[in-house]
């Protein structure tokens, strides 16, 4: 009977397995290459292995691969994919084409425990963490869609789908390793961004680990009372703690931080809010993405009016001397935009 998911095994684990069965070390390297470089998810498809070796693997291992459940394409070209996990749970990922950029937005958890008031995913609660292979396989399947629909490879990956990546840090870090490794997808870590709602001690750990990927903080308010109102995680990770952790992260990695700031009508889009954001960002090497809010039923929030967005951005640039970009929503018509992923079609 199968006893283990081989996708959770290291190369050393597979070598040890073959050693116990009187098979040469190079068999392990062959299998590992099939799994990660060629992304094959069936032992029977590993054609340079003997029938006996494939049978041996089938007897002792399973491959808990994810599979495509459904696909929706937005009028703007954005593609949302739902993935069915081996245990029946479902997560979503998104392919976002924009000019020459082809970005995969991937999930790190099924559901999310953080209950941010404006986000559909938080209403699901946390179901479970994804393992590194499940995260990796999302990238592979979205990459295949990019080639199929746009004849283009992926250029960027953002961990901005379902879940809080830093609450599943070990598996997220391992997935980044597999995505960037030469025996994996060989992508540059500088093309990868991990987004967090803000867990100060874990941001410090990223610094201690001297990670090479980019970090984005979902900020959305630079006032503790206001931020706690929409993001309960702020109660345990206030702005001062976050600011100190971000400065530590930059000191250790030299990587500029991205602040994600959704603009909500008459909540966090005033000039006073912009002033607070400038004060928070002062001294932190950063850029700011101002994000159009995507309606989520039952939240009571609405997106800011165009004139307020312009005024807010202008204040950041002229008074704060900050780099600020407005990010227009993609895939709203298929619930594929920021904050809308909730496993429905």
Q: Which residues, 6 or more positions from 119, have their beta carbon under 8 angstroms from its beta carbon?
A: 112, 296, 339
Tell me if residue 33 is catalytic: no
Catalytic residue among 112, 119, 286, 338: 338
SS (HEC) of 233-253: HHHCCCHHHHHHHHHHHHHHH
Tell me if residue 338 is catalytic: yes
Using alpha carbons, list the distances in angstroms from residue 279 to 68, 143, 265: 45, 40, 21
Residues linked to residue 116 through DSSP beta bridges, in sequence order: none
**Of residues 159, 187, 179, the one with CA closest to residue 39:** 179
Q: What is the spatial distance between Cα 188 and Cα 29, in angstroms, rounded to a whole number?
A: 23
* Positive/negative CA dihedral, 222, 228, 230, 232: positive
Q: Which residues, 6 or more positions from 207, have their beta carbon under 8 angstroms from its beta carbon?
A: 245, 248, 249, 250, 251, 252, 253
| Interstrand relation of 192-196 and 214-218 (parallel, antiparallel or unpaired) | parallel
Q: What is the spatial distance between Cα 161 and Cα 260, in angstroms, rounded to a whole number?
A: 14
Which alpha helices (DSSP H) does 158-286 contain, by range? 169-180, 200-208, 224-230, 239-253, 271-281
Catalytic residue among 92, 134, 164, 276: 92
CB 163 within 8 A of CB 342: no
User: Nearest 5 degrees, angle CA 99-CA 78-CA 194?
Assistant: 80
- Residues 212, 328, 295, 341: what is their CA dihedral angle, to the nearest 10 degrees? -40
Q: What is the spatial distance between Cα 54 and Cα 272, in angstroms, rounded to a whole number?
A: 65
Q: What is the spatial distance between Cα 287 and Cα 320, in angstroms, rounded to a whole number?
A: 11
CB 82 within 8 A of CB 69: yes
CB 34 within 8 A of CB 9: no
Query: Which sequence positions are flagged as catalytic?
Result: 92, 338
């Amino acid at each position: 009977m199968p006893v283990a998911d081989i996708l959770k095994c290291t190369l050393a684990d597979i070598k040890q397995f073959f050693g116990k069965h009187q098979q040469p070390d190079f068999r392990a390297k062959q299998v590992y290459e099939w799994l990660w470089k060629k992304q094959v998810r069936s032992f029977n498809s590993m054609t340079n292995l003997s029938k006996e070796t494939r049978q041996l693997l089938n007897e002792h291992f399973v491959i808990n691969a994810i599979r495509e459940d459904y696909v929706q394409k937005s009028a703007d070209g954005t593609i949302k994919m739902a993935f069915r996990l081996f245990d029946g749970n479902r997560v979503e990922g998104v392919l976002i084409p924009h000019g020459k950029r082809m970005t995969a937005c991937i999930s790190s958890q099924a559901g999310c425990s953080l209950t941010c008031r404006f986000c559909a995913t938080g209403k699901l609660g946390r179901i479970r963490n994804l393992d590194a292979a499940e995260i990796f396989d999302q990238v592979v399947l979205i990459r295949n869609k990019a080639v199929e629909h746009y004849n283009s490879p992926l250029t960027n990956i953002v961990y901005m789908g379902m879940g809080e990546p830093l609450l599943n840090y070990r598996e997220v870090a391992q997935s980044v390793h597999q995505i960037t490794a030469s025996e994996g997808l060989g992508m540059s870590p500088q093309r990868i961004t991990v987004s967090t709602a803000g867990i100060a001690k874990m941001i410090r750990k990223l610094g201690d680990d001297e990670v090479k990927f980019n970090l984005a903080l979902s900020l959305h308010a630079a006032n503790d009372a206001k931020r706690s109102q929409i993001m309960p995680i702020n109660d345990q990770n206030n702005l001062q703690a976050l600011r100190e952790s971000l400065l530590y992260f930059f000191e250790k990695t030299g990587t500029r931080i991205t602040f994600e700031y959704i603009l909500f009508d008459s909540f966090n889009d005033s000039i006073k809010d912009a002033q607070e954001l400038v004060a928070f960002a002062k001294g932190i090497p950063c850029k700011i993405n101002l994000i159009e809010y995507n309606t989520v039923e039952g939240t009571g929030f609405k997106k800011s009016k165009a004139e307020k967005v312009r005024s807010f951005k202008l204040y950041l640039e002229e008074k704060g001397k900050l780099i600020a970009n407005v990010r227009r929503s993609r895939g709203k018509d298929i619930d594929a935009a920021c904050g809308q992923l909730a496993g429905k079609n």
